[in-house]
Every structure is written in C-alpha cells, then in structure tokens.
Amino acid sequence: MASVKKRAKTALQICGKANDKIYRDSLVKTAKALMKLDNVEIISHRAPDGDTLGCSSALCRGLRFLGKKANVVCADAIPDKYAFLFDGIEPQHFEAQHFVTVDIAAPHLMGKLKETYENKIDVCIDHHIDNSISAPVKMVDQHAAATAEIIWQLLSAMGVVIDQAIANDLFAALSTDTGCFKYSNVTAQTHLIAIELMKCGAECAKINYKLIDEETKAKMELKKQSLATLEYFCDNRCAVITITKAMMEASGALPEDTDGISNIPRSISGVDCGITMRETDDGWKISVRSDEKLNAATLCGRFGGGGHAAAAGCKFNASYEDAKTQLIEAAKELMQ
Ligand SMILES: [Mn+2]
C-alpha cells in the first residue's frame, strides 16, 4: 500500500516540485496531521470567496471519504453562486473536536467565529505570506496562487480519490483566485493542477461561466449606472467611478456586486490610477487599482487606509467633492 510519503512525492512530481524536500516534508507532516483528526470543523473566512469555500468543501469531502465526520463553518452566509460547491454535503451531527482553517490569513478574518475558534485551531492551510493564525501545524505557501493548490496536494497525499465534486470545488477555487488564470500569481503549478482536475471531470467551462462571466441583472444595472459617472483627471491618467447609495437601491445590487466594478477604471488604456468611490452610511469607501507608476497602498495610506501596491482602499468621512479632490491631488503628486 502506498504511503503518505509516496503519494506526496507523486503529487509533487506532477507539480514540478519533486526535488523540494522541505516542501515535501511539510506536505507529509500536514497530511498526516489531517489524517489523525476526526469530528472536524473546517472554517472558511468571513465574506467568503471561491477559494476559501472551494477548499473547505473539497477538504470536507476528502475527510468524509476517509471515514471521518466533518462540516464546514463560516461567519457569513454563502453567496448563492457558490452554493453548488456544497452539493451533496449534508451537515453531519457530532461534537466538534478538531478545527482547520483554510485560506484564512488572520484571526479577525474568521469574523464573528473568531472568539469561538481562535485558540483551538489544529491545522492552518493558507497562501497568504503574512499569515498570523496560531496552530500547531501550519502549511502556508505564498507561492500558491490559491489555497486550492495546497489542498489538492494534501488530498492527493492523504490518498483521497479526487472525484468530480472535489475536482469542481478545487477548480472553482483556482479559477476565482486567479481571475480565470489571468493574474500574475498564476504559475505552471496552477495550470498543472488544473489539468489534473480536468482529468478528474472538473466542469471547467460551466464553472468559469458561472463564477467569472455570469452577472445578475442587478449587477449589470449597477454597472450601467456607475459607468455613466466615469470621469478623467490628471491628463487622463486617473479615472474615477462613483457608486451612490441611490444606485445600489435602484439596481437592487448587493455590496459584493461592487467588487468587479472597482477594476473597471484601471482597465482603461492610459489610466495608471483607477478610483472607485462608493457611498456608505458613514462616508465614502474608496478602492484604488493602480499600475507600477503609482503605489495604491501609499496613496490610501495617506488617508488611513492600506492594502497592496496594485490594489488598496481607504475611507473618507467627508463630502463627495472634498474626498475626490483630496484623492486626485494626492494621486497627481504621487504619479510625478
Ligand atoms: Mn485564496
């Protein structure tokens, strides 16, 4: 019978990591730790995305395949479009003994579940470089484009048969965390694992349509209304889109529907700094997307916010015109 070590080796050969002994040891250790658990609660992060949910459902199926009891928990409701990831996963009744986090970078991202779980985590699996979860067993690979890459390796090492449901869960996670294999985080490993998932029956085109292309009429309406506000500043290097509360109400769009809109201004040729201003109950929520000519985190940091070099955010408790003027002035100065 194949051992965890052997199966881990095979999985890493497929990933092009056959010679990375440190990584293989970590994979074997984590797979063995997971195999020792039973009555497991798998925790997804708050405001769940495709990666945290697809990893949770895949791991849940994998543990159940090995004869264990497992459920998935999340502080927030699962958005409708991700419901299919849980097809066939009926909640099981048991007293939870063990806890695993997937794709959760920090305790506060457990949302309202933080108090309950923070000090009980047995295994933490993630791909965020600054992961601050404390757990006796941690497997964090910042080179993985999605946590799903690590979950695939783990399930493979654990001897779980990747059926179509697991393949779909992991493919959905990979696709959503990479913008459909488009972002700079994608590596050869991402594609190599996607190939394995396709071989196991992953319904790629269907999943990509559902999670990447398909939009509700409400979201499309919000897009239409917000696009009408598009303005250019700084010799067309800065573009601003505005989403008001009235637009949210009139369109019936959900807060998460604004996510995709934030990427629009920056996608216009010649624009180095794309700003989206969304009206909220306590002022303006700002999303900035930028290229290498402007550090979005530096810009937002000036106003008490933060994030990454290419994507950051901040808040303004000021009038619309005031907030916009301050942002554009700062962007202009930083782009010089
Ligand atoms: Mn992720």
Cα of 182 from ligand 1 centre, angstroms: 15
Q: What Rg value do the Cα atoms of the chain yield, rounded? A: 21
Q: How remote is the CA of residue 170 from the centroid of ligand 1, in Å?
A: 11
- Of 126, 140, 130, 141, the residue nearest 56 (C-alpha): 126
What share of the chain in percent tops pLDDT 70?
100
pLDDT digits (tens, 9 = 90+) for 8-23: 999 999 999 989 999 9
Which residues have C-beta within 8 Å of that of residue 90, sequence separation ≥ 6? none
Tell me, what's the pLDDT at 130? 86
Instruction: Return d(Cα 57, Cα 101) in angstroms, integer.
Output: 12
Rounded (5°) CA angle 21-23-25: 70
Q: At 336, is the pLDDT very low, low, confident or very high (cuts 50, 70, 90)?
A: confident
- SS3 letters across 122-160: CEEEECCCCCCCCCCEEEECCCCCCHHHHHHHHHHHHCC
CA of 127 to the centre of ligand 1 (A): 6
Could you read off the pLDDT of 47-101 as tens digits, one per residue?
A: 999 999 999 999 999 999 999 999 999 999 999 999 999 999 999 999 999 999 9
Q: How far is the CA of 50 from the centre of ligand 1 (A)?
A: 8
How do residues 238-289 score in pLDDT, each as one tens digit? 999 999 999 999 999 988 888 889 999 999 999 999 999 999 999 999 999 9
> How confident is the model over 220-232, as a mean pLDDT?
97
Flag whether pLDDT at 120 surpasses 70: yes
pLDDT one-digit tens code per residue, 73-87: 999 999 999 999 999
**Residue 124 CA to ligand 1 centre (angstroms):** 13
**CA pair distance 314, 20, nearest whole angstrom:** 40
Cα 147 to middle of ligand 1, angstroms:
5
CB 184 within 8 A of CB 106: no
What integer is the mean pLDDT of 102-106? 96
Question: What does the pLDDT read at residue 135?
Answer: 98
What is the Å distance from ligand 1's center to 146 Cα?
5
pLDDT at 142 over 80: yes
Q: How far apart are CA 61 and CA 159, in angstroms?
A: 12
Q: Which domains occur in the chain, in start order? A: 4-213 (3.90.1640.10), 218-335 (3.10.310.30)
CA 186 to ligand 1 center in whole angstroms: 12
pLDDT digits (tens, 9 = 90+) for 144-164: 999 999 999 999 999 999 999
Q: Which of 33-47, 169-183, 207-221, 304-318 has the lowest mean pLDDT?
A: 304-318
Ligand 1 center from residue 233 Cα (angstroms): 34
Query: What is the pLDDT, as a whole number, of residue 184?
Result: 82
Beta-strand runs (E) in 9-69: 40-43
pLDDT classification of 1: cutoffs 50, 70, 90: low
- Give the pLDDT of residue 309: 85
Residue 28 alpha carbon to ligand 1 centre in Å: 22
Task: For residues 34-46, give the mean pLDDT.
Answer: 98
Q: What percent of the chain has pLDDT over 90?
A: 92
How much distance in Å is there from the Cα of 108 to the middle of ligand 1?
A: 16
Ligand 1 center from residue 228 Cα (angstroms): 32
